[in-house]
Amino acid sequence: KRVPKGDVLESARVAALFGVKKTHELIPDCHPLPVEHAEVGFTVGEQEIIVTMKVRTIYRTGVEVEAMHGASVAALTIYDMLKP
């Protein structure tokens, strides 16, 4: 869980939340949304780490892209910290 760069899952959690908040800056035609709640989950297996995201808003549109973006950023952070 801890490597020279720091705590892998905590770093990934923070990165995921940043990813959710910055989605509109990186994905074309994605508008800024008032995110009411964002939650990151990790399931650590023998050969894999499963990243799950829950994102909620009271806004009229969905937050699927924000959730997928947050999960992707978390996965990239995990890879970056654990790569050989």
**Active-site option among 80, 81, 82, 84:** 80
- Does the pLDDT of residue 1 top 80, yes or no? no
Q: What is the pTM of this model?
A: 0.92
66 Cβ contact partners less than 8 Å away, ≥ 6 residues apart: 20, 23, 30, 33, 35, 38, 55
Q: 80 catalytic, yes or no?
A: yes
Helices (H), 1-84: 8-26, 64-82
- Domain ranges within the chain, ordered by starting residue: 2-82
Q: Give me the residues paired with residue 57 across strands.
A: 35
Section 24-46 average pLDDT? 95
CATH fold of 2-82, please? Answer: Alpha-Beta Plaits (3.30.70)
